[in-house]
A = this chain, B = another copy of it.
Amino acid sequence: MEDTVDHLAHERSKAQFNVEEMKIIWAGSLHALQVSDRIAKLVASDPGFGKENRAVLSRKDLFKSALKKAAYVWKRINELGLSEEETSWLRFYVDELAYDYVHWGMFVPAIKGSATEEQQNKWLPLANTMQIIGTYAQTELGHGSNVRGLETTATFDPVTDEFIIHSPTLTSSKWWPGGLGKVATHAVVYAQLITDGKEYGVNGFLVQIRSLDDHFPLPGITVGDIGMKFGSGAFNSMDNGVLRFDRVRIPRNQMLMRVSKVTREGKYVESNIPKQIIYGAMVYVRQTIVADASIALSRAVCIATRYSAVRRQFGSPQNDQNGNGIETQVIDYKTQQSRLFPLLASAYAFRFVGEWLKWLYTDLIQKLEGNDFSTLPEVHACTAGLKSLTTSAAADGIEESRKLCGGHGYLSSSGLPELYATFVPACTYEGDNVVLLLQVSRFLMKTISQLQSGKKPTGTTAYIGHVEHLIQCGCNVKKAEDWLNLCVILEAFEARAIRLLVACAENLTKFANPLQGFSELSPDLVEAAVAHCQVIVVSKFIEKLQQNIQGIGVKQLLETLCYIYSLNLIHKHLGDFLSTRSITPKQASLASDQLRSLYAKVRPNAIALVDAFNYTDHFLGSVLGSYDGNVYPKLYEEAWKDPLNESVVPDGYHENIRPVLKQQLQNARL
C-alpha cells in the first residue's frame, strides 16, 4: 500500500483534458492563477503559517495561537509590501479565523459604506493601519434576523452634543460580533436612534469600547467572549463577543451619517444619498459568501476524490471471492460516484455563478452611482437566493464528502471536520437561509403579479416573461442522449420553476388575507424560490460554456459537469419536475441513464479535475487529501502527534484506572 504515490500519478495520466488550462478557468484568469499560486506557495513554505494541530488545544491556547498568527500575517504583509490583491490571497491561504477577519471583512466596509467622507478621512487611516481594531456589532441576544427589532438605544443629548448608547434589557446585549470578545478597540454598533423624543429606527454608531492604552473596557462597557462554538479549532480561534452599554456617551459625529444624520439641534435629517445604497453592501458580502461556498465545497471534494482513488475496499468482480488480489478503488463504486461527482460538479457550478455575481456587483455599483436603482430588487433577490442555495448545498456536501471517506473522515487529521464546522454557520449568518428564501419568494410573487400590468421581468427573472410558453411547453427528450442538450435542460428548469411559482401565486389568491396566505404557503414558496435559484445556477453555467474556452478537452469536461449538475438536480427534485409535468416519468428514467454515462466520462478525469483547484497540501490540511495520495503513512504519523501519546502510561492512570483494575475504588478520592 505504500506505493500510493504512484497510484495518483497513474490517475493523473488518465486525464483527457489540459489541466493547466482548467486551472486558469477555475482561477478566473491567468493573472489570478499566477498571483494566487505564488502566494499559496509563500504561505505554505513559511513556518510562521504552519498549521499546528489546532484541534488538540484548549480554548485559551487556541486563541493565543490565533492572536500570534494574526500579528504575523500583518507583519509579513507590511514587510513584503503586498498589494491589496496579494494581501487578500495571503489571508485566504493562511486559513485561520481571527479578529482581523471581521476587522477587514465587516468593520472597514461598514465605515466605507455608511460614514461621510469626513468621517472616512478620520477613521479609515486608523483602521487601515490597524491602529484601531474594529468589529461589527449588529446582532443581539434577542434579535438577529429581525434587525428592526434591535433594542440597543442611541439617544441624542442636545445639552452635551452626544449620543447615549444604552442596553436597556438583557436581550439587548450585543451577541456574536467577531473579534469583540477580547480584541476589538472599536465597534460599529447598530442601535435605535432616539432624538427629540422620537425613534428613527436602526442606525450605525462608531463606539470605542477598549482603551488604547491598557486595553481595558471603557467605563460603562461590559464586554466578554460568548464561549465555545461548533467543533474544535474552527470559529473557536475567534472571540465572538457579548457587549453591554450602561449609558455610554459618544460624540454626535460618531453616528455614521452618510445616509441620515442628526444635527446639532437634534433634528433627524435624511441625506440626498438614497437609502438603497446600503443594499449594495449586503450584495457585496453575500457575493463573497457564494465564492466561499465554492471554495469550501471544492476543498472537501478534493479530499474525498483523492482519498477515494487511494482507498481500496473489497475485491473487484475480476478478483477471487475472498477479496484477495488488488481490491477495488472505492471511487469505482457507482454509489460512490453518484454521491461524489454531483458534488464535484456543484463546486464548479458555484464557482462560475460566484464569478458572475462578482461581475454583477460591480455592475450594480456603477448603476447605483449613476442613480439607477432599477435593477436593485432583482440583484438583491438573486444574491440572497444564491447565498442561501450555495451555502446549504456546500455545507451538506462537505459532510457528504466526509462520509465518503468512511471512518477516517471522522478524524481531525482528515481536515474535513474543521472545514465543516468553519463553513456551516454561513447558512445562518448574513441572513438565515430560510429567511432569505422567503424574501426571494416575496420578490418573485411580486414579479409574477406585475406581469399583468405589463412589467417585463429582467435579468435573472427574464425567463418569467416567457410564462405563457413555459407553462405549456413540453420536453422533447425521447432517448437518453437527447438530454445532452443545454437548451432542453434549461427549459426544463425554467418550466419547473415557473410552474411552481405560478401555482403559488394562484394559491395565494385563495386567501382573503394575503399576509396569511403567504404565511400558510411559505413552505411551498421556499421550494419555488429554490427552483428559481437553480435556474440561475444552471443558466450561468451554460453561459460560461459559451465563452471562449481554451485547452484540449477543457470545454468537454465542463460540459459534462454542467450536465451532471443539472441532471442530478432533476433526479433530486424529481417530484417537482413530474408534478409540474415539466418532464415525464419516462424522461426521468432516461435522465438517470444519461447520468450514469456521464459519471463514467468523469471517472478518468476525476483526480485531474480536483487538481485544477490548485490547492496546496498546506491549504487543504488533510492527510487524506494530500497531492501524492500517500495516505496511510501520513495518517499513522499524524496520530502519534496527539498529546495523549506523549507518555506511554496516561496521566490519570494512578488515580483513575489502576484503582478500577485493582478493585480499590472504595478508598479512591474521586
Smallest CB gap from A595: residue in B:
B523
Is A520 touching B327 in the complex (CB atoms < 8 A)?
no
Is B665 touching A317 in the complex (CB atoms < 8 A)?
no
Within the complex, what minimum Cβ distance (angstroms) separates A76 from chain B? 9
Asked whether A142 is an interface residue with its Cβ less than 8 Å from the other chain, the reply is yes
Is B633 touching A78 in the complex (CB atoms < 8 A)?
no
One of B71, B411, B649 near A229 (C-beta < 8 A): B411
Which chain A residues numbered 37 to 89 have a C-beta less than 8 Å away from chain B? 48, 53, 55-61, 63-64, 67-68, 70-72, 74-75, 78-79
| Cα–Cα distance between A655 and B571 once the two chains are bound (Å) | 56
| Cα–Cα distance between A67 and B212 once the two chains are bound (Å) | 45
Is B571 touching A182 in the complex (CB atoms < 8 A)?
no
Asked whether A512 is an interface residue with its Cβ less than 8 Å from the other chain, the reply is no
Q: Which residues of B contact A56 (CB under 8 A)?
A: 58-60, 227-228
Within the complex, what minimum Cβ distance (angstroms) separates A546 from chain B? 30
Which chain A residues numbered 317 to 331 have a C-beta less than 8 Å away from chain B? 317, 322-324, 327
Is A519 touching B317 in the complex (CB atoms < 8 A)?
yes
State whether A215 and B653 are in contact (beta carbons under 8 Å apart), knowing that A132-B661, A432-B406, A660-B71 are contacts in the complex: yes
Q: Which residues of B contact A323 (CB under 8 A)?
A: 146, 148-149
| Cα–Cα distance between A163 and B88 once the two chains are bound (Å) | 60
Asked whether A35 is an interface residue with its Cβ less than 8 Å from the other chain, the reply is no
| Cα–Cα distance between A24 and B409 once the two chains are bound (Å) | 39
Total copies of this chain within the assembly: 2
Helix, strand, loop or mixed for chain A's interface? helix
State whether A652 and B407 are in contact (beta carbons under 8 Å apart), knowing that A313-B144, A314-B146, A663-B131 are contacts in the complex: no
Is B335 touching A226 in the complex (CB atoms < 8 A)?
no
Is B313 touching A639 in the complex (CB atoms < 8 A)?
no
Within the complex, what minimum Cβ distance (angstroms) separates A357 from chain B? 23
Q: Which residues of B contact A359 (CB under 8 A)?
A: none
Interface segment, one of A271-279, A423-431, A442-450: A423-431
- Most chain B beta-carbon contacts within 10 A, residue among A57, A74, A666: A74
Within the complex, what minimum Cβ distance (angstroms) separates A418 from chain B? 9
Q: What 0/1 pattern do residues 572 to 589 of A give for CB contact below 8 A with B?
A: 111111111100010011
| Cα–Cα distance between A253 and B44 once the two chains are bound (Å) | 54
Is B58 touching A632 in the complex (CB atoms < 8 A)?
no
- Most chain B beta-carbon contacts within 10 A, residue among A201, A231, A242: A231
Is B141 touching A668 in the complex (CB atoms < 8 A)?
no
| Cα–Cα distance between A212 and B660 once the two chains are bound (Å) | 11
Q: Which residues of B contact A403 (CB under 8 A)?
A: 427-428, 433
Q: Which residues of B contact A145 (CB under 8 A)?
A: 313-314, 406
Is A216 touching B649 in the complex (CB atoms < 8 A)?
yes
| Cα–Cα distance between A183 and B317 once the two chains are bound (Å) | 41
Q: Which residues of B contact A129 (CB under 8 A)?
A: 663
A-B contact pairs, 17 of them (CB 8 A): A48-B670, A58-B643, A60-B644, A67-B652, A149-B323, A176-B407, A182-B644, A182-B650, A215-B649, A228-B642, A229-B410, A231-B417, A235-B410, A335-B522, A407-B428, A571-B575, A574-B575
Given contacts A143-B313, A580-B585, 5 further A-B contacts (CB under 8 A): A53-B227, A71-B657, A129-B663, A229-B411, A231-B421
